[in-house]
Amino acid sequence: MSSRRFRTLRARTGLVWAAALPLVAGALALGAPSADAAGHDGGRHTLLGTKPLWATRQADEGATAGSADVTARVYLAGRDAKGLAAYARAVSDPRSAAYGKYLGPAQAKARYGATRDQIARVTDWLKTSGLTITGTTSRYVAVKGDAAAVKRAFATDLHNYRKSGHTYHAPSAAASAPASLADAVLTVTGLNNAPRLARHHAQLPPPPQVFRNSGPFSTYYGSRTDKNLPSAYGAKAPYAVKGYTGKQLRAAYGAKGWTGKGVTVAITDAYASPTISQDAGTYAARNGDPGYRRGQLSQVLPKKYSHIKECDAAGWYGEETLDVEAVHAVAPDSDIVYVGGASCMDDDLLDSLGKIVDGHLADIVSNSWGDIEANQTPDVAAAYDQVFQQGAVQGIGFYFSSGDNGDEVANTGTKQVDTPANSAWVTAVGGTSLAVGKNDTYQWETGWGTQKAVLSKDGNSWDGFPGAFTSGAGGGTSKTVPQPYYQRGVVPDGLARAGGLSAMRAVPDIAAVGDPNTGFLVGQTQTLPDGKTQAYDEYRIGGTSLAAPVIAGIQALAQQARHGVAIGFANPGIYQRYGTAAYHDVTDHPLGAGRDLAVVRVDYNNGVDTGEGTTTSLRSLGKDSSLHAVVGYDDVTGVGTPGAGYVSSYRP
């Protein structure tokens, strides 16, 4: 799992421990000002949220030099920002007369896209201010220049601020545009330089160092138990599975005869694994999945990559591999298009999402990356939500993993959700611990939350039982995104209002297997310990990085069951099915109150072989920090996981 550096976005893969307003008619995305909603002062149109919260008086280190280099993007509001949000809701809500009346890419662009006049006026303003245009798309105008030119354009000084041991420049007040451009400018990003580094590379690094799981393993949940190990929770815990395969996941989530035929799933991550095609083909052949048809797996990649070191580029290869192999395992006949970002920065991932929307490359988009909500700013949230709304009006649904650090307290010291999973315009996917038994029978699930206790030296007990929290599905209540209409009456008030008096967006919406202790077997080319040799190997993996593509695959099955009609933005329909046989209602105690569960894992200390010995540990299940999977909606698994009736519930 790549770690956070600056404002880089994190992959959700568990390799080792393996902002919107309510969706009401006419509502704008958080931070998306209009001529009616934005502030005006002296003929200026305020761009809300462009001064980050960390740019405080206490952190201020003085004015940025006027000659300092700045790169930025001015996102365009388009013809009708209010109408875009309203229509995105209407076509997504099964109770609406406009439900399913999607627009094609050309229609969406003609109705809601930026006009030539808007682009020309914005371009003229930026040039007149002394900024240089570096790129223009239908979504934004990219510029570079110095801080003095930024001040002329956006009527704000840049100051230097201390943040997390680094110094960054940021606006000393909210940026603004001329009031005459209120209809044209959505927001501006990049005026703070925390996420932006300026290195470009033509080549990607080799695959990461090999990681392997040590045995013994169970072939299915509970198939192998060591009676000589100490008991836990009144019983002997079984060894962790070697890794579930497509056959087991399809059985658990009610795939039946559906295969995703005729449906395309897009996957976005950063960078691109140089061995993805051969790895995916090898994995399918070894694990009982149908082989790939010619052209079934394709890639759309940037011309060059950036931020290689900061983003740990090679660490993203396993993320792409997991996502591709998981989608194919669950929906073996669906087409898969991988759209790689030039880096793990917001701008580059936004470009990947934009390519999918502009070309309507898929109806279902799986995204296994994100950041903590505290690092989100309204300007960036507005840019993301605009893409999500543009996708919704075309029948494109976005699925985001909810995070791998539970309530984030252990990771950041602050209870919070992750982003973009917090957006009211995406489907946030939580994680579970999954038990698939003999003959591929679904047994139960708990919320994914792990505590770890190591076997004592004498082998007679588990030291510190049940142990410390190690990882768990992200979830909770947003501090920035108000409750969307589809959650009303489903999310308990105690969760919706957990942060105060106002009802806010709860995360996640739905869930699937995420626990790396009950995870998925993935196959990938990795670099062996000699540092030179590369070879294909397989290992168990987890994280909500697994849950998101599994749900994307299930949605492909559901769309096939719907005779190929796009599901689009799925949340209204997901919540409409709440409380029905479509879902497994997941709790942390599926076998009854007080009956806790665990598995035993043996891990190589060096992650590769027995050269430095092994460690045997007990991994307790259903222990997700302060979050709990309970009867009904909860902030670990949302409405639950797909049950035997989920896919068929989409049949006309």
pLDDT of residue 425: 98
Burial pattern 41-50, b for ≥16 Cβ within 10 A else e, equals eeebbbbbbb
pLDDT of 23 above 70: no
pLDDT of 2 above 50: no
Question: In which domain, by residue range, is 2 found?
Answer: 1-209+249-446+465-596+638-652
pLDDT of 461 above 80: yes
pLDDT of 21 above 50: no
Question: Considering the domain boundaries, does residue 16 fall inside one?
Answer: yes
- For 369-393, what is each residue's pLDDT tens digit? 999 998 888 899 999 999 999 999 9
Amino acid at 366: S
pLDDT of 25 above 90: no
pLDDT of residue 572: 98
Q: Coil, strand or helix: which one is 523?
A: strand
Range with the poorest average pLDDT among 142-146, 162-166, 357-361: 162-166
pLDDT of 29 above 50: no
pLDDT of 7 above 80: no
Q: Coil, strand or helix: which one is 627?
A: coil
Q: What is the mean pLDDT of residues 259-272?
A: 98
Q: What is the mean pLDDT of residues 147-163?
A: 96
Residues pairing with 69 in the sheet: 146
pLDDT of residue 30: 30
Between 603 and 25, where is the model more confident? 603
What whole-number distance in Å separates Cα of residue 389 and Cα of residue 354? 11
pLDDT of residue 53: 86
- Residue 282 has φ and ψ, to the nearest 5°, of -65, -45
Question: Considering the domain boundaries, does residue 58 fall inside one?
Answer: yes
Question: Considering the domain boundaries, does residue 616 fall inside one?
Answer: no
pLDDT of residue 346: 93
pLDDT of residue 6: 30
pLDDT of residue 248: 98
pLDDT of residue 293: 97
Q: How confident is the model at residue 40 (pLDDT cuts 50, 70, 90)?
A: very low
Between 425 and 208, where is the model more confident? 425
What is the DSSP code string of 467-485? Answer: EEEEEE---EEEEEEEPPG
CA neighbours closer than 13 Å in the CB half-sphere of residue 522? 33
What whole-number distance in Å separates Cα of residue 73 and Cα of residue 379? 11
Please report the sign of the dihedral spanned by the C-alpha atoms of residue 461, residue 466, residue 468, residue 473. Answer: positive
pLDDT of 207 above 90: no
Residues pairing with 341 in the sheet: 270
- For 293-340, what is each residue's pLDDT tens digit? 999 999 999 999 999 998 999 999 999 999 999 999 999 999 999 999
pLDDT of 4 above 90: no
pLDDT of residue 548: 98
pLDDT of residue 375: 87
Question: What's the CATH number where 352 sits?
Answer: 3.40.50.200
Question: Considering the domain boundaries, does residue 365 fall inside one?
Answer: yes
Q: What is the mean pLDDT of residues 541-567?
A: 98
Q: What is the mean pLDDT of residues 530-550?
A: 96
What is the DSSP code string of 43-100? Answer: SEEE-TT-S-TT--TTTEEEEPPTT-EEEEEEEE--S-HHHHHHHHHHHH-TTSTTTT
**Structurally, how many domains does the chain consist of?**
1
pLDDT of residue 194: 79
pLDDT of 588 above 50: yes
Question: Considering the domain boundaries, does residue 275 fall inside one?
Answer: yes
pLDDT of 162 above 70: yes
CB 549 within 8 A of CB 364: no
pTM (predicted TM-score): 0.93
- For 231-254, what is each residue's pLDDT tens digit? 999 999 999 999 999 999 999 999
Q: How confident is the model at residue 13 (pLDDT cuts 50, 70, 90)?
A: low
Mean pLDDT for the chain?
92
pLDDT of residue 87: 98
pLDDT of residue 38: 39
Question: Considering the domain boundaries, does residue 619 fall inside one?
Answer: no
pLDDT of residue 500: 87
pLDDT of 196 above 80: no
Question: Considering the domain boundaries, does residue 221 fall inside one?
Answer: no
Range with the poorest average pLDDT among 25-34, 48-57, 509-518, 564-573: 25-34
Q: How confident is the model at residue 22 (pLDDT cuts 50, 70, 90)?
A: very low
CB 197 within 8 A of CB 307: yes
Q: How confident is the model at residue 195 (pLDDT cuts 50, 70, 90)?
A: low
Q: How confident is the model at residue 48 (pLDDT cuts 50, 70, 90)?
A: confident
Question: Considering the domain boundaries, does residue 115 fall inside one?
Answer: yes
